[in-house]
């Protein structure tokens, strides 16, 4: 057929030439038709271009995936936007800004607020809190939350009020304007005598606000704490009332330097000038001193220069005069009943004690600095995201509510605006691969937990449990699949009848083509419940079957040749079948008995002894027993891995040059001796490469793991618990990950890791196989 | 000297008497193969058995139960499983057997499956007049028919010989009406809905361009009004049909004695499981398989058929093949026929080979990032800006799914095609070239035809892999229930942006996301059987073609 085709093409070439008779020796007769040449050229180009394009495209996939994960490792970028010169007469206490960063304000210590347009630097309006409250203000404290901010103001006559500042976006025809709204709350007296409020701090939600203040009484400063509680009403806001005022002067030694109140309004910390921190918690409607600690005890100067909350109000950012930057976090330590502050991290030191501090409202980042330099840091990973310097002293700073702006006010009353681009502050090698001490945890750990129930939840993106889970799944799959497939490959290549190979290979190919979703479904809904209460039987089968077969083999090989001759070599695998069946039957029925003898658990409550492997395992090892566990996954993954290892290993084994095996057999070695001493050593690289490819398949397997495990990221190798692998993690989380968010990119990084692992394994295997081929050719 | 030789001879003798060295280990290796083969055959037979059992009309039982407290209870249903009772092994206790009964009647009994202690069973009966009704809602019902109310107010008693025939007629009529209503609702009303949606988006687009109120907008508004009017007419027609079909009502008594009414339009099918003979049973078996393949799913996919999933799988696989074959073959031809065989090509070859081993989920990740968000998002910005923020192509869909799978399978096709190109003897190429054929002519008319079976094998293997992959599809557009097929009668007929159903995902979803996983199990097994048959069939045909090819060109390819 092919020859006729080529013949046809030849005649076609001939006839497309100029019409001529046989005698005509016109050279154009021998010319190829222009169309043919043109087609040839076009097709050559198309195939060259197309082929190259396809190959490049396929390879570019991984460049794309890798590129998507690259921004995770970038640092924060800060670009200057504009600088606004403020009225030099303003004596700023602190600066603030709205959610959009369009209408920042400067607050003076006497309660004067200047709202400034960030676009043109003009003062939009000035509000005087003193006028608003009709009282002379002696102290102001700002509590900032996403959405709104509250000024807690203390007056000269010992009263206080909470003033809410709200920004309201007003949409006009073609633009959006930000309007501010100040809502002064009621004035409450902090004492029966009108002592001026020297220092005030407050925070809280709409329902519960905690206010701590220092009153300058003639006999000495008094430290008082109270709460504003709003009763719940069905319609509209309920009534607000002040609780009892607690005088805590006696509890605190020394002069109070700073007070911080947490956002929930039920805790506060007080710093004195000697560097001691007093931690109070409201319990039973009264503040109780829970802990006193000195964070810089181990350094030369104990004094704390700055103390501030990180977003979430469970971590204190502290610095001392020499610029040491430490974090203390609240958690329940092991063996302790209550949450207390403990040292967690030290960040790179500053030039000196922090003079300004601004926390992010979105994540655990904060801006801190001394003198004219500032540094943007991330609390969880204890890393510096960005650094900068102005040419004059920085007085006050604030981070935009969306973590997209930086506002700095310097000593010359200039307001510097910066654009901040830092989409993935929580990422980085430390976060992905290292132990991280997360807030609320009693020690640094490897944790993958990308989403949580609360707002102040921080994503925990450690790849270590996922990589470990991947290795765990692979390990158990290989433990089952590797011996089986290698034995099968050895038998098929060396001992089975050659004609039989033609049947067995398609069977293995069918096995390889079984959809993993089917295997996963069977693992989870059929196998897992089936062996859940039959684990002893299963474990027995694993040991008994090989034992039985070996014993049978020994007995058989000792039988007289007259008996043995009835079994043709190459048919052993059929004869083994009844032995295996017997092994399964015996272990299935013996399992419960074994369970009764070895795995009984005594329950003191019900006074019952029960033979249950699941309970026994949990009591003896202290590790959980799950229905969907690694055993099930390992077994089912065998279906996916066995045919792959088998095919490659069998190829390598059966392609060992005949001359070698023939020589060995001729020298009197038995077929087993030939196989084990000649064939296996020669084909060993091939077996190794089969192992590599099998590993690659097991690592990347997704659906079986998704379906047949609980998908909990764990850090153990307990065979009776599940795991979460890299691939399952992607399948579970990517559909929910916001586009270009940290989780999204982290999952791309996971895919990159997965790709690298399998690609490296496959490349090793392929190179080894190439070498082996050359070796065989030489032999 | 002589002594040692004698010794050696003796040793050989001893060895011979003990048998051939290592023979026991040969048996050990045989075990590996046997277990492997047994695993495959066992798995396939398990799926085959469980999958086909779903369709077999089993006999239904009525059980008289007496619990320990002494109360008696009647129960009707099908025995689905017999197992040892789970629990602790206590000293001296007997093995306890329990039966799992599929009792249907979900709306009355709550759970469709129930376990019954074997010891509690007093009597097991197979009453002939027990009827099993497949319903549109609440799954199957078991009961004893009492009568059939006819639309004219008449009543046919269950004892009447005409009862069964009349009921069959009523169900048949109800099915026909249901079909008509469906045609109206799905096809005609669907078309109008599509048009209304389209016009509304156009209006929105005009508004965006600040052209609301212009003549163009007025025109669209008028068209919309017209469409709404047509919609009303069709809706009225459907309502009318629905009213018409009401009439026949089956009255039956369930095992607890409660009497229930079931209108014929809520019935899909019925039969008397204990009256069927073997041939009738087989007929019903085939009938149920047919409906499984041709019907749409009901009751959160746990009832009905899997037609949309089959169709989705088919369209996706075909689209994937259309992308993958030309490009895969082109790359293979380039690598084998055009590229200069050197280190670089060897590296590329290894890389492409390795890509076949890269986990499929990685391709899914690429599909999401590149196709869905990047390309799809850009297409939406450019062409479907009026529909935003609702994405058109910027979300998973059948086009992206098939492109993703095409990338996943392209290495398979390249490797298989290259291998088969390599196995075409060089003599054939040289012969063709010597006859004056150009390079392309040689490839087109000599090399490709000779390599076609091998390329076909790769293509079939790619299809099998594409049809069985689920992990990447979960990311790029497969859904649990797609309201519309990707190809239908509404212009432009092929909707590549639509989400689709897939057999593999159907298994995952039914088994793991279903509220009543026990009730979903039969359906999962049936779907699994279908998918496995499809994949095995594709693989077998690939193997068959390759075997034929091997006979044709015997060339070593290791």
Distances (CA, A) of B368 to A62, A706, B207, B377, B465: 13, 19, 32, 11, 20
CA distance B386 to A5: 55
Q: With an 8 Å Cβ cutoff, are B445 and A699 in contact?
A: no
Separation of alpha carbons A524 and A709, rounded Å: 8
Burial class (CB in 10 A: 0-12, 13-18, 19+), A313: buried
* Intra-chain end-to-end CA distance of chain A, in Å: 37
Q: How far apart are CA A351 and CA A372, in angstroms?
A: 10
Q: B153 at the A interface (CB within 8 A)?
A: no
Tell me the residues of chain B between 102 and 141 that have a Cβ less than 8 Å away from chain A: none
How far apart are alpha carbons A12 and B128 in whole angstroms? Answer: 77
What is the residue whose two structure tokens read 């013949």? Answer: A7
* pLDDT confidence band for B12 (50 / 70 / 90): very low
pLDDT score recorded for residue B149: 86
Partner residue opposite B543 with nearest CB, options A39, A483, A509: A509
Q: Which residues of A touch B440 (CB under 8 A)?
A: 39-40, 43-44
Instruction: Give the integer Cα–Cα distance in Å for B420 and B455.
Output: 7
Give the residue with greater pLDDT, B321 vs B2: B321
Domain positions in chain A are 464-533+612-740+755-778
Q: How confident is the model at residue B551 (pLDDT cuts 50, 70, 90)?
A: low
Torsion of CA B368, B369, B370, B373, to 10 degrees: 80
- Establish if B464 touches chain A: CB-CB under 8 angstroms: yes
Contact A225, A248 (CB under 8 A): yes
Q: Using pLDDT thresholds of 50, 70 and 90, give the confidence band for residue B552.
A: low
CA distance B111 to B75: 13
Convert the pLDDT of each residue in A203-220 to its tens digit: 988 788 899 999 998 888
B291 CA to centre of own chain: 14
- Measured distance between the N- and C-terminal CA atoms of chain B, rounded to whole angstroms: 50
Other beta carbons within 10 angstroms of residue B259's beta carbon come to: 12
- Pairwise CA distance, residues A210 & A215, whole Å: 16
Phi, psi of A328 (to 5 degrees): -120, 135
Number of H helices and E strands in chain A, helices first, is: 19, 34
Q: Do A6 and B428 touch (CB under 8 A)?
A: yes
- B438 at interface of A, judged by CB pairs closer than 8 A: yes
The encoded tokens of residue A213 equal 């203040």
As a whole number of angstroms, the distance between CA B459 and CA B410 comes to 9
Residues from chain B contacting residue A650 (CB–CB below 8 Å): none
With contacts defined as CB-CB under 8 Å, which chain B residues touch A774?
Answer: none
Q: B445 and A8 in contact by Cβ < 8 A?
A: yes
Reference A754, options A58, A59, A66; nearest CA is A66
Q: Are strands A600-603 and A608-611 parallel, antiparallel or unpaired?
A: antiparallel
Residues of B in contact with A589 (CB under 8 A): none
Helix (H, G, I), strand (E, B) or coil at B409: helix
Neighbours of A585 (CB within 10 A): 11
B8 touching A (Cβ < 8 Å): no
Interchain CB distance below 8 Å, B369 and A707: no
Whether A97 and A771 have beta carbons less than 8 Å apart is answered as no
CA distance B23 to chain A (A): 6
What's the pLDDT band for B87 if we cut at 50, 70, 90?
Answer: low
**E strand spans, A580-730:** 600-603, 608-611
Contact of B398 with B318, CB cutoff 8 Å: no
Separation between Cα atoms, residue B414 and residue A50, nearest integer Å: 13
Best to test chain B binding among A17, A31, A573 (most B CBs inside 10 Å) = A573
DSSP bridge partners of B116 = B99
Q: Which of B53, B359, B443, B502 to mutate to test the interface with A (most CBs of A within 10 A)?
A: B359
Instruction: Classify domain B310-472+489-498+524-552 by CATH number.
Output: 1.10.3720.10
Closest CA to A114 of A128, A98, A126, A122: A126
User: What letter would DSSP give residue A72?
Assistant: G
- What average pLDDT does chain B have? 83
CA angle A699, A61, A746 (to 5 degrees): 60
B 308-327 residues with CB below 8 A of A?
327
Angle between helices B398-422 and B448-468 (to 10 degrees): 140
Q: Which residues on neighbouring strands pair with residue A79, listed in sequence order? A: A419
Q: Are A489 and A645 in contact (CB under 8 A)?
A: yes
Quick one: tokens of A606?
A: 């019900």
- Residue-wise pLDDT for A359-403, tens only, equals 998 889 999 999 999 999 999 989 999 999 998 999 999 998 889
CATH match of A464-533+612-740+755-778 with 3.40.1130.10:
no
Instruction: Give the 3-state secondary structure percentages of chain A, helix then strand then coil, rounded to 5.
Output: 40, 30, 30
Beta carbons of A549 and B27 less than 8 Å apart: yes
Pick from B282, B173, B469, B129: nearest CA to A701: B469
**Quick one: pLDDT band at residue B48, thresholds 50, 70, 90?**
very high
Give the Cβ contact number of residue A765 at 10 Å.
26
How far is Cα B417 from Cα B457, in angstroms, rounded to an integer? 8
Chain center to CA of A44: 48
A763 contact residues in B (CB cutoff 8 A): 350-351, 354
Per the CB < 8 A criterion, the answer to whether A227 and A212 are in contact is no
Check CB contact of B423 with chain A, cutoff 8 Å.
no
What is the C-alpha separation between A458 and A462, in angstroms, rounded? Answer: 12
User: Angle CA(B256)–CA(B257)–CA(B262) in degrees, nearest 5?
Assistant: 100
Which pLDDT value is given to residue B366?
Answer: 93
CA dihedral B504, B505, B508, B514 (to 10 degrees): -130
Q: Which residues, 6 or more positions from B32, have their beta carbon under 8 angstroms from its beta carbon?
A: A483, A484, A485, A486, A487, A488, A489, A490, A491
- Most A CBs within 10 A among B25, B86, B412, hence the mutation to make, goes to B25
By the CB < 8 Å criterion, does B359 face chain A?
Answer: yes
Answer whether residue B221 shows pLDDT above 80.
yes
Tell whether the torsion through CA atoms of B110, B114, B120 and B121 is positive or negative: positive
- pLDDT value of residue B15: 47
Report d(CA A67, CA A56) in Å as an integer. Answer: 16
Mutate to test the interface with A, among B93, B339, B369, B408 (most CBs of A within 10 A): B369
Residues 6+ apart with CB under 8 A from A500: A492, A570
Is 80 exceeded by the pLDDT of residue B8? no
Residues 6+ apart with CB under 8 A from A274: A253, A254, A294, A302, A303
Grade residue B357 by pLDDT with cuts at 50, 70 and 90: confident
3-state SS class at A151? strand
Assess whether the previous peptide bond of B389 is cis (omega < 30° from 0). yes
Residue found under tokens 């190959």? A55
Residue A706, phi then psi, degrees to nearest 5 = -60, -45
B chain contacts of residue A10, beta-carbon cutoff 8 Å:
435-437
pLDDT for res B95 = 66
ipTM of the complex: 0.88
Cβ–Cβ < 8 Å for A115, A125 = yes
Å between A453 CA and nearest CA of chain B = 22
Residues of chain A with pLDDT under 70: 1-26, 29, 237, 452-456
pLDDT in tens, B103-130: 888 888 877 888 888 888 888 888 888 8
For B474, which residue in chain A has the nearest alpha carbon? A731
Query: Residue B440: phi, psi to the nearest 5?
Result: -65, -40
Alpha helix (H) residue ranges in B367-397? 377-383
Contact B254, B260 (CB under 8 A): yes
CA distance A167 to chain B (A): 27
- Indicate yes or no: CB of B36 within 8 angstroms of CB of A642: yes
How far apart are alpha carbons B457 and B413 in whole angstroms? 9
B225-283: pLDDT as tens digits: 888 888 888 888 888 887 776 678 888 888 888 888 888 888 888 888 888 888 999 99
Is B359–A700 a contact, with Cβ atoms under 8 angstroms apart?
yes
- A99, A167 Cβ separation under 8 angstroms: yes
- pLDDT value of residue A1: 37
* List of chain B residues whose C-beta atoms are within 8 Å of the C-beta of residue A577: 34, 38
H helices, E strands: number in chain B: 18, 13
| Most distant pair of Cα atoms in chain A: their distance | 134
At residue A402, the pLDDT reads 87
Separation of CA B335 from chain center:
37
């Amino acid at each position: 057929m092919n020859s006729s085709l080529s013949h046809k093409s030849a005649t076609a070439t001939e006839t497309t030439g100029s019409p001529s008779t046989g005698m005509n020796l016109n050279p154009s007769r021998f010319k190829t038709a222009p169309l043919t040449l043109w087609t040839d050229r076009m097709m050559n180009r198309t195939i060259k271009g197309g082929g190259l394009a396809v190959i490049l495209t396929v390879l570019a996939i991984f460049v794309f995936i890798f590129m998507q994960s690259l921004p995770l490792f970038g640092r924060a970028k800060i670009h200057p936007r504009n600088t606004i010169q403020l009225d030099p007469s303003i004596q700023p206490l602190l600066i603030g800004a709205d959610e959009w960063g369009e209408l920042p304000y400067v607050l003076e210590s006497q309660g004067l607020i200047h709202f400034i347009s960030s676009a043109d630097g003009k003062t939009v309006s000035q509000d005087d809190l003193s006028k608003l409250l009709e009282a002379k203000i002696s102290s102001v404290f700002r509590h900032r939350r996403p959405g709104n901010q509250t000024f807690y103001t203390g007056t000269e006559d010992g009263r206080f009020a909470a003033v809410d500042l709200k920004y309201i976006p007003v949409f006009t025809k073609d633009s959006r304007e930000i309007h501010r709204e100040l809502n002064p709350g009621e004035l409450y007296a902090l004492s029966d005598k009108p002592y001026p409020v020297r220092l005030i701090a407050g925070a809280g939600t709409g329902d519960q606000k905690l206010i701590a203040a220092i009153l300058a009484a003639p006999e000495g400063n008094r430290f008082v704490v109270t709460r504003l509680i709003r009763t719940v009403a069905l319609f509209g806001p309920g009534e607000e009332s002040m609780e009892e005022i607690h005088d805590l002067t006696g509890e605190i030694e020394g002069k109070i330097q700073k007070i911080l109140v947490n956002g929930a309004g039920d805790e506060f910390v007080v710093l004195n000038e000697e560097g001691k921190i007093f931690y109070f918690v409201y319990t039973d409607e009264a503040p109780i001193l829970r802990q006193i600690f000195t964070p810089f005890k181990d350094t030369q100067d104990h004094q704390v220069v700055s103390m501030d909350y990180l977003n979430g109000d469970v971590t204190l950012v502290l610095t001392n005069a020499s610029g040491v930057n430490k974090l203390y976090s609240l958690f329940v330590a092991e063996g302790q009943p209550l949450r207390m502050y403990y040292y967690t991290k030290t960040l790179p030191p500053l030039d000196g004690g922090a003079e300004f501090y601004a926390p992010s409202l979105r994540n655990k980042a904060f801006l801190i600095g001394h003198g004219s330099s500032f540094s943007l840091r991330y609390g969880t990973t204890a890393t510096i995201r960005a650094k900068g310097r102005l040419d004059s002293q920085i007085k006050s700073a604030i981070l935009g509510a969306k973590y997209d702006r930086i506002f700095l006010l310097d000593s010359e009353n200039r307001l510097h605006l910066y654009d901040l681009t830092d989409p993935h502050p929580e990422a980085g090698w430390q976060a992905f691969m290292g132990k991280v001490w997360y807030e609320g945890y009693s020690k640094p750990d490897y944790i993958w937990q990308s989403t949580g129930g609360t707002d102040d939840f921080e994503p925990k993106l450690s790849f270590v449990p996922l990589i470990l889970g991947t290795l765990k799944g692979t390990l158990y799959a290989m433990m089952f699949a590797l011996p089986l497939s290698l034995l099968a490959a050895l038998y098929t290549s060396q001992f089975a009848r050659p004609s039989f190979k033609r049947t067995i290979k398609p069977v293995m190919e069918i096995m390889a083509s079984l959809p993993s979703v089917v295997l996963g479904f069977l693992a989870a809904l059929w196998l897992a419940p089936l062996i859940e209460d039959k684990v002893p039987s299963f474990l027995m089968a694993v040991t008994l079957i090989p034992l039985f077969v070996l014993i049978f083999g020994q007995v058989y090989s000792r039988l007289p040749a007259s008996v043995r001759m009835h079994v043709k070599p190459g048919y052993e695998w059929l004869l083994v079948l009844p032995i295996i069946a017997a092994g399964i039957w015996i272990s299935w029925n013996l399992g419960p008995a074994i369970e009764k003898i070895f795995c009984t658990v005594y329950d003191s409550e019900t006074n019952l002894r029960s033979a249950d492997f699941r309970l026994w395992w949990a009591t003896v090892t202290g590790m959980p027993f799950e229905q969907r566990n690694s055993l099930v996954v390992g077994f089912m993954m065998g279906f996916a891995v066995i045919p792959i290892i088998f095919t490659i290993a069998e190829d390598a084994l059966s392609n060992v040059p005949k001359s070698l095996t023939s020589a060995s057999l001729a020298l009197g070695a038995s077929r087993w001796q030939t196989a084990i001493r000649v064939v296996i050593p020669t084909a060993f690289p091939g077996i190794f490469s089969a192992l590599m490819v099998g590993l690659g398949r097991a690592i990347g397997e997704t659906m079986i793991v998704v379906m047949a495990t609980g998908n909990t990221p764990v850090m153990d190798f307990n065979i009776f618990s599940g795991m979460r692998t890299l691939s399952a993690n992607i399948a579970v989380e990517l559909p929910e990950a916001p586009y270009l968010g940290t989780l999204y990119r982290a999952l791309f990084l996971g895919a990159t890791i997965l790709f690298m692992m399998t690609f490296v394994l496959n490349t090793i295997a392929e190179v080894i196989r190439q070498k082996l081929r050359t070796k065989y050719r030489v032999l | 000297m002589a002594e040692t030789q004698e010794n050696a001879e003796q040793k050989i003798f001893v060895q011979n008497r003990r048998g051939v060295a290592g023979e026991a280990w040969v048996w050990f290796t045989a075990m590996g193969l046997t277990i492997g083969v047994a695993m495959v055959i066992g798995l396939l037979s398990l799926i085959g058995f469980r999958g086909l059992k779903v369709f077999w009309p089993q006999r239904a039982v009525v059980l008289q139960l007496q619990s320990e407290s002494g109360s008696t209870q009647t129960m009707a249903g099908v025995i689905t499983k017999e197992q040892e009772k789970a629990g602790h092994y206590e000293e001296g206790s007997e093995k306890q057997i329990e039966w799992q009964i599929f009792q249907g009647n979900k709306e009355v009994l709550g759970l469709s499956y129930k376990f019954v202690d074997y010891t509690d069973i007093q009597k097991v009966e197979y009453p002939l007049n027990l009827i099993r009704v497949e319903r549109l809602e609440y799954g199957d019902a078991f009961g004893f028919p009492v009568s059939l109310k006819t639309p004219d107010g008449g009543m046919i008693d269950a004892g009447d010989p005409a009862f069964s025939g009349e009921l069959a007629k009523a169900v048949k009529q109800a099915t026909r009406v249901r079909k008509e209503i469906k045609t109206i609702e799905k096809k005609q009303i669907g078309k109008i809905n599509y048009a209304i949606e389209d016009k509304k988006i156009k209006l929105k687009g005009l508004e965006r361009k600040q052209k609301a109120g212009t003549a163009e907008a007025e025109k669209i508004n008028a068209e919309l009004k017209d469409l709404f009017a047509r919609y009303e007419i069709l809706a009225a027609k459907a309502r009318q049909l629905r009213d018409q079909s009401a009439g026949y009502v089956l009255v039956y008594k369930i095992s607890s004695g409660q009497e229930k009414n079931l209108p014929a339009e809520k019935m899909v099918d019925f039969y008397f499981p204990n009256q069927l003979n073997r041939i009738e049973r087989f007929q019903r078996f085939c009938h149920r398989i047919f409906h499984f393949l041709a019907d749409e799913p009901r009751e959160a996919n746990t009832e009905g058929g899997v037609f949309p999933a089959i169709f989705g799988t088919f369209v996706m696989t075909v689209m994937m093949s259309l992308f993958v074959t030309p490009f895969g073959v082109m790359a293979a031809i380039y690598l084998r026929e055009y590229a200069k065989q050197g280190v670089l090509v060897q590296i590329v070859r290894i890389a492409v080979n390795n890509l076949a081993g890269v986990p499929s989920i990685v391709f899914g990740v690429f599909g999401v990032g590149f196709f869905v968000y990047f390309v799809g998002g850009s297409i939406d910005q450019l062409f479907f800006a009026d529909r935003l923020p609702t994405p058109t192509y910027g979300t998973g869909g059948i086009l992206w799914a098939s492109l993703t799978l095409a990338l996943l399978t392209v290495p398979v096709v390249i490797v298989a095609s290259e291998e088969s190109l390599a196995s075409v003897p060089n003599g054939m190429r040289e012969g063709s070239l010597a006859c004056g054929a150009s390079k392309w002519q040689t490839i087109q008319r000599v090399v490709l035809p000779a390599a076609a079976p091998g390329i076909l094998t790769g293509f079939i293997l790619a299809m099998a892999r594409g049809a069985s992959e689920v992990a990447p599809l979960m990311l790029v557009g497969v859904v649990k229930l797609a309201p519309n097929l990707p190809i239908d009668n509404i212009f432009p007929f092929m909707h590549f942006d639509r989400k689709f159903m897939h057999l593999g995902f159907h298994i995952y979803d039914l088994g793991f996301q279903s509220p009543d996983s026990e009730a979903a199990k039969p359906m999962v097994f049936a779907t699994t059987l279908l998918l496995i048959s499809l994949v095995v069939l594709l693989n077998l045909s690939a193997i068959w073609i390759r075997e034929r090819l091997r006979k044709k060109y015997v060339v070593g390819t290791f």
